[in-house]
A and B are shown apart, each in its own frame.
Chain A
């Protein structure tokens, strides 16, 4: 009998990992009373005999899996009396845990097991484990009920009533009828339509993983009171309590993931109106439920959405979850259809065994892909039991517990809250977490005097007039000199209208005059507006026009574009008439200190007005935290238009330390910076992280050990940079600071530990500053949950200059602070750590989405940077053609001296990241382009070039060509290609080919093999092939494999290595002339039929016949790798003996039989290793054929798509070839040979190409390739091989 669709889903899941016990389900029924074990065994035998659906084993037939009835199975029942144990229950539980970890053998059966433990005089535990493929939750309830019934009858000496069970055949028949029905089509269309946009399915982990073999479970109980209130609340909304639970879970997931759209999975018993109601078997289905959760909607509205959503889904509930996923093409991409599952089991058994009451305990509800929330309603009045089952690959037990605890508290609050209250009223944080994140983490109150930015500097001048204040090159000024010069200029500025509340623009390159001018503006009471002389003229003009300053001060008149603003040109200004005393001014801490323009994410730059109180708080905190002292020297290198420069300019001067001003442009030159830091004894400086990376790779940086503090801010600080800092500047403290211009430079700080792991936090709030991480409802997120970062406190800017609406939009009322206070919305994504530090997670408005998928660029960058050859990495989404968004990676070489290899990097990423996160191109740059601020200038990164014929090619005609062209481009990572571009010519590999085949299958529903792709390599050819429905033809396993049949050159024949397959030569195609035909020769036994050849000669003779079918006469070109080389040589000899010319014999690390004669013949275990190597994997712990197949399947290997009989045949061929190799006797070949040695040291150190000398009459010209034997056909090595090979072929073409 075939499997039902429901069973097939389970079968495939098991086939992915045959040794996994994840499909085990188990339950334990606690019986309070006496049990007669022999009567119990009799009962079980009867129930099993009645339940034919349970009593099957499953074998793989020619037409797929089949279930066979086992008529009289031996009852797998273990009975033990544990009363003597110190803790009988614990002993029993341990046994069950161990049993639960044992996988069933589907083919052998039985697929269930029982145990009966006596744990007390009057207490027994009945344990049963059943494979999910034959049983679901409802099925368990049928089995348990019948078992109780039969036992009770037998115990009373009565005959149990007739079996209530329906037959498995009825289930299968019903399933078959459904799949042929119109309803099936209607259902398919329904789900297609409902999920046509392929929505994201947010989950709590924020990423997906393959299912594990086990799961973590946390159990909790909702109090009877809360349960009762939930029920009442549900009925007041005309809903059921499970629907209320689903709504609550949707609310939780939405808030915890920051997504308004959620998709939950709802397991359904799937038996309404069906014969299945009486069949204990596997019927259940999981239906996806899409919900939109907004803060404005009420809980009642959300519940109504759930009720209607489930109602609509229920009408189409027989359509399988697995089929929906496949229809949407999610299968091929490894994407989830749903987030967490809410599995409500309202079937309380309340059974009695001969009067003894029972309690049921679920032990495993089946595999857990992500998170399953199991809810049990127990009729004993103990409330709801809520189990959180999590995939260990995604959730630590503590995380699972935290989510669960929050959900339980949320349920309690929902039960107490009027259901027509907006969802915004609900937080997902627990009460204790709210106190923590709002109050305890923000306990930063610290009294500061009401001073200004400039006051403390003037005070310091009085205290240390003769100390060195300022150094620039070989010039320096004492505090008194600096003060005097600044005061003279200040008096002039007062005269021309600079006063408290007024602005003065400053366009002076880094110099003594720059510092003097800034001080002068502040001394006059004004706020300075820095105009970076490096900015483009129209940007400067815009800023002058927008800000309307009282004047603009420049070092010379032509520094700024002409505007109506009065100009003070320092080179023509004589300030000697003015006094050197501090000018009087009515300046308060509320007056603006500076205005800095920032580029908005949208539209024009905006001026941020920062008051004195804000920046004064910032500098006072910094002094208290880092204690700058006289003798310290601070490097001023940050351009004045970037607010980091503010603390650089003024901090030192407030405390008697010295400011060292770097040359204009010097901030971009790491060698200059290292020199200045050393020569000027700099103790404090700042780097933007990307510039820090550059600086650390400068050899002289290691000499800067005199630094006392290095600060980073402005960009996310990669952990790798921190580690590198520790290596180069061991012992120097590094601090990560964060803050937008809108909050006086920095609001958080974190001392970096060079040996820590994970993302570098931006840290804790500074003095008088509060940080909030809020969700969409502006409710605080608990630690670990990401939300948007909001800032409040003294350091907030006053406004955006002249932009009241923008100010009102970004600076909003602070709901958690005193009345009237504001908070600033940063647009940054962040989360709290448990220790009260903030982790920065990216921007809300630059969130990268590609083809509907959320992408963390940082994650890709981290993977790239993990490669030893990579120094620094950056990844971005480019749109070089409208609508054509692609991921592109950029890397710089590390100082190891090796150059990063884009192809290898892509392969590396493909190994650890989902396909959609692997950049289509990776470019190696000498250096990253930096903006004037020293930040990475993304716009200056070059666009990658791809070699598809693109626009030049013929336009696709018809749907298939169009689709295929798109799929080719997607898989190859090229922006566009023509319908006549060949897959392997554009760098297609067999791994990519496997992906393409799978995508074509998913998208077009066309059955296709990799072999077809070898024959039809262009979108046009493939479309024609599919149109002609040649899909059953598969030359991929034929003796002659036309890798590239077209071309006017003399064909190249490539002979298979030990495994008998020649797919490994597909890499030659893109590396040889497109006019060069290439044929592979393959073992005849790949179809799994016929005898294998008994001598090497016999095999070679057969290949001669095969190649003569396409090329009857010479000259011939032959190539072979490994065993293939021996074959090529043997074929060459046969051809020469037949009077033909052989013009090329190329041997890829192949050694004659003599060398192998005495080596041990490999056994199957070695053959398995060979098979894995063919697929490009190193062997790990695979021991059996099954292990190897599982690995291939898991890794998505092209070989895994082959039928089992082929893989089995390959193993036989490997063993056979090894034997033939050892028995063969070579005859001499007349001519030269081209040889490639895999030159890395190998175990078989006795192999030498010299051994060919007796069998090659001419010369053997060798080329060493630095790799191991199995690596020789990998892309990078093939580049080397083909460089030589292509040159030789070209010579032959022109000979």
Chain B
């Protein structure tokens, strides 16, 4: 299954321990508790389940869902 905005959002919310509805797509996720360990666990999950190629640095550079959608080539 390809990654979608909603899937990214759900997975992000999961590692942050928050409700997906509380995670905006256009804001800096660091303010919501995103850190390097959580990014790495997301990458691990997405490599396993979606075979993504993006690296830690790619995602950490622009820690927002909107930006990740482009990097990960997810469907809107």
A242 to chain B, nearest CB (A): 6
For residue B36, which residues in chain A have a CB less than 8 angstroms away from its CB?
269, 272, 346-347
Q: What mask results when residues 342 to 385 of chain A are scored 1 for a CB within 8 Å of chain B, else 0?
A: 00101100000000000000000000000000000000000000
Q: What mask results when residues 238 to 259 of chain A are scored 1 for a CB within 8 Å of chain B, else 0?
A: 1111100000000000000000
Tell whether A278 is near chain B: CB-to-CB under 8 Å: yes
Q: How far is the CA of A377 from the CA of B32 in the complex (A)?
A: 24
Q: How far is the CA of A361 from the CA of B53 in the complex (A)?
A: 28
Tell whether A314 is near chain B: CB-to-CB under 8 Å: yes
Q: How far is the CA of A272 from the CA of B35 in the complex (A)?
A: 8
Decide: A240 and B60 in contact? CB cutoff 8 A: no
B1 to chain A, nearest CB (A): 22
A237 to chain B, nearest CB (A): 8
For residue B62, which residues in chain A have a CB less than 8 angstroms away from its CB?
273
Tell whether B63 is near chain A: CB-to-CB under 8 Å: yes
Decide: B60 and A273 in contact? CB cutoff 8 A: yes
Q: Which of A277, A278, A317, A346 has the most CB of B within 10 A?
A: A277
Tell whether A307 is near chain B: CB-to-CB under 8 Å: yes
Q: How far is the CA of A275 from the CA of B16 in the complex (A)?
A: 24
Decide: A242 and B37 in contact? CB cutoff 8 A: yes
Tell whether A315 is near chain B: CB-to-CB under 8 Å: yes
For residue A1161, which residues in chain B have a CB less than 8 angstroms away from its CB?
none
A636 to chain B, nearest CB (A): 71
Chain B positions 24-52 with a Cβ under 8 Å from a chain A Cβ: 28, 30-38, 40-41
Tell whether B22 is near chain A: CB-to-CB under 8 Å: no
Decide: B60 and A239 in contact? CB cutoff 8 A: no
Tell whether B57 is near chain A: CB-to-CB under 8 Å: yes
Q: How far is the CA of A242 from the CA of B34 in the complex (A)?
A: 13
Decide: A277 and B37 in contact? CB cutoff 8 A: no
Decide: A273 and B35 in contact? CB cutoff 8 A: no
Tell whether A1194 is near chain B: CB-to-CB under 8 Å: no
Decide: B17 and A346 in contact? CB cutoff 8 A: no
Q: What mask results when residues 187 to 211 of chain A are scored 1 for a CB within 8 Å of chain B, else 0?
A: 0000000000000000000000000
A314 in contact with B33 given A238-B17, A239-B17, A273-B63 (CB within 8 Å)? yes
For residue B30, which residues in chain A have a CB less than 8 angstroms away from its CB?
272-273, 314-315, 317
Decide: B61 and A277 in contact? CB cutoff 8 A: yes
Q: Which of B28, B34, B36 has the most CB of A within 10 A?
A: B36
Tell whether A310 is near chain B: CB-to-CB under 8 Å: yes
Decide: A277 and B57 in contact? CB cutoff 8 A: yes
Q: How far is the CA of A241 from the CA of B17 in the complex (A)?
A: 14
Q: What mask results when residues 326 to 352 of chain A are scored 1 for a CB within 8 Å of chain B, else 0?
A: 000000000000000000101100000
Tell whether A803 is near chain B: CB-to-CB under 8 Å: no
Q: How far is the CA of A694 from the CA of B60 in the complex (A)?
A: 71
A190 to chain B, nearest CB (A): 12
For residue B33, which residues in chain A have a CB less than 8 angstroms away from its CB?
307, 310-311, 314
Tell whether A271 is near chain B: CB-to-CB under 8 Å: yes
For residue A269, which residues in chain B have a CB less than 8 angstroms away from its CB?
36
Decide: B28 and A273 in contact? CB cutoff 8 A: yes
Contact of A315 among B31, B37, B41 (CB under 8 A): B31
Decide: B34 and A272 in contact? CB cutoff 8 A: yes
- A164 to B, closest residue via Cβ: B57
For residue A242, which residues in chain B have a CB less than 8 angstroms away from its CB?
37
* Interface size bracket, B side: 10 to 19
- B31 to A, closest residue via Cβ: A315
Decide: B35 and A240 in contact? CB cutoff 8 A: yes
A170 to chain B, nearest CB (A): 12
Q: How far is the CA of A240 from the CA of B34 in the complex (A)?
A: 11
Contact of B40 among A239, A314, A346 (CB under 8 A): A346
For residue B38, which residues in chain A have a CB less than 8 angstroms away from its CB?
240
Q: How far is the CA of A347 from the CA of B39 in the complex (A)?
A: 12
Decide: B37 and A271 in contact? CB cutoff 8 A: no
Q: How far is the CA of A1158 from the CA of B29 in the complex (A)?
A: 78
A385 to chain B, nearest CB (A): 16
For residue A315, which residues in chain B have a CB less than 8 angstroms away from its CB?
30-31
- B40 to A, closest residue via Cβ: A346
- B58 to A, closest residue via Cβ: A277
Q: How far is the CA of A277 from the CA of B32 in the complex (A)?
A: 20
Q: What mask results when residues 262 to 287 of chain A are scored 1 for a CB within 8 Å of chain B, else 0?
A: 00000001011111011000000000
Chain A positions 438-480 with a Cβ under 8 Å from a chain B Cβ: none
For residue A314, which residues in chain B have a CB less than 8 angstroms away from its CB?
30-31, 33, 35
A272 in contact with B17 given A240-B38, A240-B41 (CB within 8 Å)? no
A272 in contact with B57 given A238-B17, A307-B17, A315-B30 (CB within 8 Å)? no
Q: How far is the CA of A1177 from the CA of B34 in the complex (A)?
A: 53
Q: How far is the CA of A277 from the CA of B58 in the complex (A)?
A: 9
B48 to chain A, nearest CB (A): 15
- A272 to B, closest residue via Cβ: B30
A1067 to chain B, nearest CB (A): 56
Decide: A272 and B63 in contact? CB cutoff 8 A: yes
For residue B60, which residues in chain A have a CB less than 8 angstroms away from its CB?
271-273, 277
For residue A275, which residues in chain B have a CB less than 8 angstroms away from its CB?
61
Q: How far is the CA of A1129 from the CA of B60 in the complex (A)?
A: 74
A418 to chain B, nearest CB (A): 19
Q: What mask results when residues 305 to 316 of chain A are scored 1 for a CB within 8 Å of chain B, else 0?
A: 001001100110
B29 to chain A, nearest CB (A): 9
A357 to chain B, nearest CB (A): 20
- A241 to B, closest residue via Cβ: B37
A240 in contact with B61 given A273-B28, A273-B30, A307-B17 (CB within 8 Å)? no
- B33 to A, closest residue via Cβ: A311
- B64 to A, closest residue via Cβ: A273
For residue B31, which residues in chain A have a CB less than 8 angstroms away from its CB?
314-315
A846 to chain B, nearest CB (A): 43
Q: How far is the CA of A314 from the CA of B37 in the complex (A)?
A: 13
Q: How far is the CA of A241 from the CA of B41 in the complex (A)?
A: 11
For residue A310, which residues in chain B have a CB less than 8 angstroms away from its CB?
33, 35
For residue A273, which residues in chain B have a CB less than 8 angstroms away from its CB?
28, 30, 60-63
Q: How far is the CA of A344 from the CA of B30 in the complex (A)?
A: 18
Q: How far is the CA of A241 from the CA of B35 in the complex (A)?
A: 12
Q: What mask results when residues 135 to 173 of chain A are scored 1 for a CB within 8 Å of chain B, else 0?
A: 000000000000000000000000000000000000000
Q: Which of A271, A273, A274, A311 has the most CB of B within 10 A?
A: A273
For residue B40, which residues in chain A have a CB less than 8 angstroms away from its CB?
346
B12 to chain A, nearest CB (A): 13
Q: How far is the CA of A347 from the CA of B43 in the complex (A)?
A: 13
B30 to chain A, nearest CB (A): 5
A243 to chain B, nearest CB (A): 8
Q: How far is the CA of A310 from the CA of B37 in the complex (A)?
A: 13
Q: How far is the CA of A307 from the CA of B35 in the complex (A)?
A: 11
Q: How far is the CA of A1276 from the CA of B63 in the complex (A)?
A: 65
- B37 to A, closest residue via Cβ: A240
A182 to chain B, nearest CB (A): 15
- A243 to B, closest residue via Cβ: B37
For residue A241, which residues in chain B have a CB less than 8 angstroms away from its CB?
37
- A308 to B, closest residue via Cβ: B33
Q: How far is the CA of A278 from the CA of B55 in the complex (A)?
A: 12
Q: How far is the CA of A346 from the CA of B44 in the complex (A)?
A: 13
For residue A307, which residues in chain B have a CB less than 8 angstroms away from its CB?
17, 33
Q: How far is the CA of A273 from the CA of B30 in the complex (A)?
A: 8
Q: How far is the CA of A344 from the CA of B38 in the complex (A)?
A: 13
Q: What mask results when residues 1 to 17 of chain B are scored 1 for a CB within 8 Å of chain A, else 0?
A: 00000000000000011
Decide: B57 and A278 in contact? CB cutoff 8 A: yes
- B41 to A, closest residue via Cβ: A240
For residue B34, which residues in chain A have a CB less than 8 angstroms away from its CB?
272
Could you name 5 residue pairs across A and B whose Cβ atoms are closer than 8 Å? A238-B16, A272-B36, A273-B61, A307-B17, A317-B30
Q: Which residues of A contact B (CB under 8 A)?
A: 238-242, 269, 271-275, 277-278, 307, 310-311, 314-315, 317, 344, 346-347
The 7 closest A-B pairs by CB, nearest first: A238-B17, A311-B33, A240-B37, A277-B57, A272-B30, A273-B63, A277-B61
Known: A307-B17, A317-B30. 18 other contacts (CB 8 A): A238-B17, A240-B38, A269-B36, A272-B34, A272-B35, A272-B63, A273-B28, A273-B60, A273-B61, A277-B57, A278-B57, A278-B61, A307-B33, A314-B31, A314-B35, A315-B30, A315-B31, A346-B40
